[in-house]
Amino acid sequence: MNDHEELDDIPGTTVFTTERSRQGFQLNQFCMSLMKEENRERFRLDERAYLDEWPMTEAQKQAVLARDYNAAIAQGGNIYFLAKIFATDGQSFQQAAASMTGMSSDEYAQMMLSGGRSPEGQRSIKEGR
């Protein structure tokens, strides 16, 4: 395997590699299925039953049910795919992003209005810069 030491050195970030793409394949394909209104309706009606139609791991299913997007990403989910879940929920990209940071939606929105999160100290775990 290629060495991804540099990619793994970015704080609070999961780079979506070919390996993670393989790990999250079924989870991400499930997300794509929510691009059809009929599937969104079926999902809303009984989320668990809908998820059980997919050969996903239990951890992936739990992450979806809990709308825990950090957990979903740890299980191979990719944010552009996961976006189909929060679009189905009627949640904005900003609210979903906020939910991954440990900040409230309001705090996060305020941070963005003030110019966003500074890259200072957010570039490298190892080098602490």
Residues lying near other proteins in the complex (CB under 8 A): 6-7, 10-18, 21, 24-25, 28-29, 31-32, 34-37, 40, 69-70, 73, 78-81, 83-88, 90, 92-94, 97-98, 100-102, 108, 111-113, 115-119, 122-124
**Residue 39 C-beta: closest distance to other proteins, Å:** 10
Q: Contact 87/32 with Cβ under 8 angstroms?
A: no
* Complete DSSP assignment for 50-110: HHHTS---HHHHHHHHTT-HHHHHHTT--HHHHHHHHHHTT--HHHHHHHTTTS-HHHHHH
**CB closer to other proteins, 36 vs 48:** 36
Distance of CA 55 to the CA centre of its chain: 19
**Residue 77 C-beta: closest distance to other proteins, Å:** 9
**CB closer to other proteins, 4 vs 48:** 4
What distance in Å separates the CA atoms of residue 72 and residue 43, rounded to the nearest whole number? Answer: 17
**Residue 48 C-beta: closest distance to other proteins, Å:** 20
Tokens of 118: 């500074």
**CB closer to other proteins, 35 vs 65:** 35
